[in-house]
């Protein structure tokens, strides 16, 4: 016979993928039945909610990152940022004011900045500050605390200090091999527009899977951890700061809305709630997962815990001073 | 993950966002104000997916046409696929298309205690709007009852819609969840429903998680000036109703 007959059929990845989707489609009834238990239903709802809530911000972030890569030349950043990284860190941190997004948007943008030659320390300061100090977040904090106008100011100051400290810490102690700077060379297309959409699609697929990891973890904790454990620490000043900082990591609330949640935690001191507002946009499960996806696990495993401690400490000091 | 599968995943996720915003399903997960952003990001993802898919076909055809002519440098610069973690994006796609999990309800409400935040100290509760009965959100009613001694509620018939959950001490609560941002941060308002005798819940007790509209009057009790106080209402009528368009307040 001919060659065609002897050539064994081997499924391509796309065929396996479509077959898999078809199997799930056929098993839909069974799947829905599996999710009848209230705890599974609530978990699935929280998971979908976190992902759906984060997607517009992630898309905004990858679109901005694509625009930076395609249309902003590295020379531009050399011009606007101070030559010395130690000076570039506070400038980049303060530039966080410019992007009205939450933490999901800032990760791909910071990756885009690094790929365009911005020093990692400066890009990291921007990564941490922009979700916490942009105008939308500050205004919503102001509105959420009608009787404590200092809260918005304290949040701005504490977040900026913590972000700049982390940038400098990276300059002093960070090692290049921990950080995987997103590579863009292979994404350059024939036109700027092609570079733009290739970068956006690339960043979305790189970060999206990790967003799902964060969403699953947060959903499990949401339905498993009893809410009452928080009450136990509310009357101890130091423990309550740690307690609310941990809560911020677990809850994964968008920085544009977290002030309203903090306002409802009235059994806690203002300083503990400030810690919640400073830690949340810098370290939460979903964000750490996104960082791991964009900058590598080695990086996230070192950067996130240190950021947590720095953000919590700075918030305590600023709270003690201002609130 | 190959680039063609990445494209299909982006199209499916974008489609999922368009699908839940084409009716009211998205209201189970997020607030109404997010709708335009969900639609915009859904469209962007579909466009990104289609662009990438076309690119994949174009590259494949070019390689097919002139395998020999393709220079080594060109081959090296071709975009590679997405990381394996991108496969996880299948989870929300399956969850949205196949399961479309329902809005949070009694399970979440029974895990949490009712929290009614104190209004701004300077703000006096404004008078109730016109209407007999006046339709009120549960959290507004609770705030007026607990932080304003029910002053604005005296002598008015109110109508409130929520789902039923069991009260630990007997009877049942009219219950509603409030979202700040998305379903992950839902807080709960519970109002104890009492009957004409003002001491026990009216019969028959609605099935847990079923939606009812309660028309009745404010009744003192349940504590005041406390976040965890639970307001009371004396029910004249309890009517089963379909789930409202937006299950949250």
C-alpha to C-alpha distances, A295 to A110, A307, B99, nearest whole angstrom: 10, 15, 33
- Alpha carbon A137 to its chain's center: 15
Closest Cα partner for B10 from B43, B38, B39, B34? B43
Cβ contact A141:A154 at 8 Å: no
One domain, residues B73 and B142? no
Are B213 and B144 part of one and the same domain? Answer: yes
List the one residue out of A90, A121, A127, A93 whose CA is nearest residue A108: A127
Domain boundary pick from B50, B76, B101: B101
Largest CA distance in chain B: 91
Task: Say if B33 falls within a structural domain.
Answer: yes
Per the domain annotation, does A217 fall within a domain?
Answer: yes
Burial of A223 (0-12, 13-18, 19+ CB in 10 A): buried
Looking up residue B231, the CATH number of its domain turns out to be 2.40.50
User: Between chains, do A56 and B48 touch, taking CB under 8 Å as contact?
Assistant: no
Residue A43: Cβ-neighbour burial (10 angstroms; 0-12, 13-18, 19+): buried
Question: What pLDDT does A6 receive?
Answer: 55
Which residues of chain A does B7 touch, with a Cβ-Cβ cutoff of 8 Å?
201
Please check the confidence at residue A141 and state whether its pLDDT lies above 50.
yes
- 8 A C-beta contact, residue A196 and residue A211: no
> For residue A47, which residues of chain B lie inside 8 Å, CB to CB?
91-92, 95, 101
**Confidence class of residue A306 from pLDDT cuts 50, 70 and 90?**
very high
What confidence score (pLDDT) does residue B122 get? 60
Strand B211-219 to B157-166 pairing = antiparallel
The domain boundary residue, chosen from B101, B136, B161: B101
Number of domains in chain A: 1
Of A48, A253, A256, the CB nearest to B92: A48
Q: Are B101 and B95 in contact (CB under 8 A)?
A: yes
3-state secondary structure of A296: coil
In a domain, A8, yes or no: no
Domain extent for A247: 42-322
pLDDT at B167: 92
Residue A201 in any domain: the answer is: yes
Closest Cα in chain A to B93:
A48
Given B101, B136, B169, the domain boundary residue is B101
**Residue numbers of B between 10 and 49 with CB closer than 8 Å to A:** 10, 13, 17, 20, 26, 28-30, 34, 37-38, 40-41, 44-45, 47-49
- What total number of domains does chain B contain? 2
Residues of A in contact with B28 (CB under 8 A): 45, 49
Q: Is residue B41 part of a domain?
A: yes
Whether B133 and B221 share a structural domain: yes
Same domain, B83 and B141: no
Residues in B 55-114 with any Cβ partner in A closer than 8 A = 55, 76-80, 82-89, 91-92, 94-96, 98-99, 101-108, 111-113
Q: What is the pLDDT of residues A258-303, one digit of tens each?
A: 887 887 777 789 999 999 999 999 998 889 998 998 898 999 999 9
Q: In terms of DSSP H, where are the helices of B78-220?
A: 90-94, 106-111, 138-147
Name A279's Cβ contacts closer than 8 Å, sequence gap at least 6.
A245, A248, A249, A308, A311, A312, A315
pLDDT at A267: 77
pLDDT in tens, A179-194: 888 877 778 888 999 9
With 0-12 CB in 10 A as exposed, 13-18 as middle and 19+ as buried, what is B234?
middle
pLDDT at A217: 85
Both structure tokens of B65: 């046409």
Is the domain of B203 the same as that of B222?
Answer: yes
Query: Distance between CA atoms of A110 and A207, rounded to whole angstroms?
Result: 13
Q: Which of A17, A37, A40, A53 is the best residue to mutate to test the B interface, defined by the most B CB atoms within 10 Å of its own CB? A: A53
Q: Supply the pLDDT for residue B76.
A: 43
Instruction: Name the nearest CA neighbour of B37 among A193, A58, A212.
Output: A58
Residue B98: list chain A partners with CB under 8 A: 24-25, 28, 31-32
Segments of chain B scoring below 50 in pLDDT: 70-77
Tell me what pLDDT residue B71 has: 47
Do B93 and B138 lie in one domain? The reply is no
pTM, entire model: 0.85
- Residue B248 lies inside a defined structural domain of this protein: no
Measure the CA dihedral B80/B85/B89/B95, to 10°.
160
Tell me how crowded residue A188 is: count the other CB atoms within 10 A of its CB: 16
Indicate if B121 and B224 belong to the same structural domain.
yes
Domain assignment of residue B191, given as a range: 107-240
Taking alpha carbons only, the member of A51, A251, A43 closest to residue B104 is A43
The pLDDT of residue A2 is above 50: no
Query: By CA distance, what is A197's nearest residue in B?
Result: B48
Whether omega before B204 lies within 30 degrees of 0, making that bond cis, reads yes
Q: Between chains, do A55 and B85 touch, taking CB under 8 Å as contact?
A: no
Q: Would you call A186 and B80 a contact, using CB atoms and an 8 Å cutoff? A: yes
Q: In angstroms, what CA-CA distances link A105 with A108, B192, B231?
A: 6, 43, 41
Supply the DSSP symbol for A215. H
The ipTM assigned to this model is 0.91
- Looking at the domain assignment, is residue A25 inside a domain? no
- Determine which helix (DSSP H) or strand (DSSP E) holds A71, and give its type and residue range: helix A38-71
B234 and B112 in a common domain: yes
DSSP A94-125: HHGGG----HHHHHHHHHHHHHTT--HHHHHH
Lowest mean pLDDT among A3-12, A132-141, A214-223: A3-12
Interface of B with A in 131-170 (CB under 8 A): none
Please check whether residue B219 lies inside any domain of the structure: yes
**Nearest alpha carbon to residue B211 among B239, B187, B248, B170:** B239
Q: Which of B12, B86, B72, B73 is nearest to B42 (CA)?
A: B12
Same domain membership, residue B150 and residue B73: no
Which run of H or of E encompasses A314? helix A297-322
Q: How far is A130 from chain B (nearest CA, A)?
A: 19
Q: Do B77 and B142 fall within a single domain?
A: no
Compute the distance between CA of residue A166 and CA of residue A57 in angstroms, rounded to an integer: 24
For residue B62, give every residue at least 6 positions away whose Cβ sits within 8 Å of its Cβ, in sequence order, or none.
Answer: B70
The confidence score (pLDDT) of residue B79 equals 61
Give the pLDDT confidence score for residue A48 in this predicted structure.
95
Whether B216 maps to a domain, the answer reads yes
Residue to substitute from A201, A216, A224, interface B, most B β-carbons within 10 A: A201
B87 contacts A209? CB cut-off 8 A:
yes
B247: in domain? no
Spatial CB neighbours of B117, under 8 Å, sequence gap ≥ 6: A263, A264, A266, B143, B227
Across the A/B interface, how many CB contacts are shorter than 8 Å?
202
Pairwise CB contact (< 8 Å): A44 & B37: no
Q: Would you say residue A321 has pLDDT above 60?
A: yes
Nearest to B180 by CA among B170, B188, B191: B188
CB contact under 8 A, B38 and A260: no
CA–CA dist A67, A195 (Å, integer): 9
Q: How far apart are CA A176 and CA A179, in angstroms?
A: 6
Name the β-bridge partners of B218.
Answer: B233
**B112 lies in the same domain as B224:** yes
Query: How far apart are the C-alpha atoms of B214 and B226, rounded to whole Å?
Result: 24
B179 assigned to some structural domain: yes
CB pair distance less than 8 Å for B41 and A55 = yes
Q: Let me know whether B9 and B71 are in one domain.
A: yes
Q: What separation in angstroms does the CA of A2 have from each of A5, A6, A10, A11, A229?
A: 6, 7, 18, 21, 72
Mean of the pLDDT values across residues A147-172? 93
Dist CA A119 CA A13 (whole Å) = 38
């Amino acid at each position: 016979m001919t060659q065609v007959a002897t050539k064994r059929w081997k499924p391509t990845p796309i065929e396996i993928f479509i077959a898999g989707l078809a199997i799930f489609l056929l098993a839909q009834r069974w799947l829905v039945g599996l999710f009848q238990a209230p705890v599974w239903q609530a978990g699935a709802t929280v998971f979908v909610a976190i992902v759906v809530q984060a997607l517009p911000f992630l898309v905004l972030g990858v679109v901005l990152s694509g625009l930076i890569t395609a249309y902003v030349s590295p020379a531009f950043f050399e011009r606007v940022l101070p030559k010395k990284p130690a000076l570039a860190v506070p400038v980049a941190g303060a530039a966080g004011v410019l992007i009205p997004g939450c933490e999901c948007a800032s990760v791909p943008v910071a990756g885009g900045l690094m790929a365009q030659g911005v020093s990692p320390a400066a890009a990291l300061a921007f990564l941490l500050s922009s979700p916490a100090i942009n105008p939308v977040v500050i205004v919503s904090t102001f509105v959420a605390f009608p009787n404590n106008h200092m809260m918005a100011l304290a949040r701005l100051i504490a977040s900026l200090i913590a972000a700049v400290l982390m940038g400098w810490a990276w300059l002093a102690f960070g090692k290049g091999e921990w950080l995987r700077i997103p590579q863009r060379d292979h994404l350059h297309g024939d036109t700027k527009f092609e570079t733009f959409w290739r970068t956006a699609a690339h960043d979305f697929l790189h970060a999206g899977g990790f967003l799902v990891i964060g969403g699953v973890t947060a959903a499990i904790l949401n339905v498993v951890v009893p809410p009452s454990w928080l009450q136990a620490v509310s009357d101890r000043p130091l423990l309550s700061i740690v307690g609310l900082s941990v809560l911020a990591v677990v809850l994964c609330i968008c920085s544009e809305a977290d002030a309203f949640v903090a306002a409802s935690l009235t059994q806690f001191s203002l300083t503990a709630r400030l810690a919640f507002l400073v830690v949340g946009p810098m370290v939460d499960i979903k964000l750490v997962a996104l960082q791991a996806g964009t900058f590598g696990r080695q990086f996230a495993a070192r950067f996130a815990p240190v950021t947590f401690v720095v953000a919590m400490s700075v918030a305590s000091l600023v709270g003690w001073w201002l609130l | 993950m190959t680039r063609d599968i990445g494209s299909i995943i982006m199209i499916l996720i974008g489609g999922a966002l368009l699908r839940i915003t084409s009716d009211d399903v998205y209201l189970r997960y997020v607030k109404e104000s997010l709708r335009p952003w969900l639609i915009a990001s859904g469209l962007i993802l579909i466009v990104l997916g289609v662009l990438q898919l076309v690119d994949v076909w174009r590259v494949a055809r070019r390689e097919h046409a002139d395998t020999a002519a393709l220079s080594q440098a060109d081959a090296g610069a071709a975009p590679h696929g997405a990381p394996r973690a991108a496969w996880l994006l299948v989870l929300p796609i399956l969850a949205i298309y196949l399961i479309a999990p329902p809005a949070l309800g009694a399970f979440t409400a029974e895990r949490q205690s009712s929290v009614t935040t104190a209004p701004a100290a300077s703000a006096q509760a404004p008078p109730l709007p016109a209407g007999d009965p006046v339709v009120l959100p549960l959290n507004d009613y609770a705030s007026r009852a607990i932080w304003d001694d029910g002053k604005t509620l005296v002598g008015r018939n109110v109508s409130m819609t929520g789902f039923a959950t069991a009260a630990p001490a007997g009877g049942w609560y009219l219950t509603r969840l409030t979202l700040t941002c998305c379903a992950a941060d839902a807080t709960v308002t519970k109002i104890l429903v009492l009957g004409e005798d003002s001491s026990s819940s009216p019969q028959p007790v609605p099935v847990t998680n079923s939606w009812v509209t309660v028309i009745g009057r404010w009744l003192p009790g349940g504590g005041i000036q406390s976040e965890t106080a639970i307001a009371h209402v004396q029910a004249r009528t309890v009517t089963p109703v379909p789930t409202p368009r937006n299950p949250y307040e």
